[in-house]
Amino acid sequence: MNKKMVFFDLDGTLLDEEKKILNSTKIAIKKLQEKHIIPAIATGRPPAKIQWILNELNIHSYITINGQHAVYEGNEVYKIPFNQDFLQDITSFASSRKHPLVYGSLLDMKSSIESHPYIKDVYKPVNMGYPPVNQGYFRGHLIYKLILFCEKPHEDFYKETFQDMQFTRWHKYALDVIPNGISKAKGIAKFLELTGIPKENTYAFGGN
């Protein structure tokens, strides 16, 4: 297969400091497409949060949620949702410690606790509204993204209890919860394996 792909991160790559797409970026993406090189996004965000970027840049391939979901030219390639028993266990564990969670499906985000200051502190600077409250959201939906809100001294309790998970802190109050063996880099590798695009025909720009 002679197809070529370029994977882009978002913050500081496709998006500037104001979370906007520069005109020069739009021109660069269009030039790739004119040369029949497929641009793709690799991000920790869920699909619903990047739809405006996909639309604006006319991109149809992406790896989202830290490598747990992938789409190639509009068709779903793979998905790795959380196990329901794990979600029930961590919800009970976090609730007993009054630590909020935010659950993310492919289409929406829901919080476990109403009006919590940690969630407000994380979401306000990025102009994202407080997620609607629905602690049982994970029972009726496939959950791909899970955010735990707690201060650093408390995170060891979760690491010791849920050893099949990675807890990656990205804010003083927030951590991504990711199954062991999952990452954007491994998501890209799996994506290439399933689509048959050779590794030597791919490039990646951005963060980890």
Please indicate, yes or no, whether residues 147 and 72 belong to a single structural domain of this protein: no
Domain hosting 59: range is 4-80+182-205
CATH number at residue 97: 3.30.1240.10
Q: For residue 16, indicate whether it is catalytic.
A: no
Among residues 9, 11, 108, 164, which one is catalytic?
Answer: 9
- Contact call for residues 2 and 35 (beta carbons, < 8 A): no
Q: What DSSP element (H or E) covers 175?
A: strand 174-179
Residues 172 and 88 in one domain: yes
Same domain, 173 and 95: yes
- Tens of pLDDT, residue by residue over 42-90, are 998 889 889 999 999 999 999 999 899 999 999 999 999 999 999 999 9
Domain count, the chain: 2
Residue pLDDT, tens place only, 121-131: 998 776 678 99
95 plus 171 within the same structural domain: yes
| Residue 154 phi, psi (nearest 5) | -95, -15
- The β-bridge partners of 203 are 6
The whole model's pTM is what? 0.82
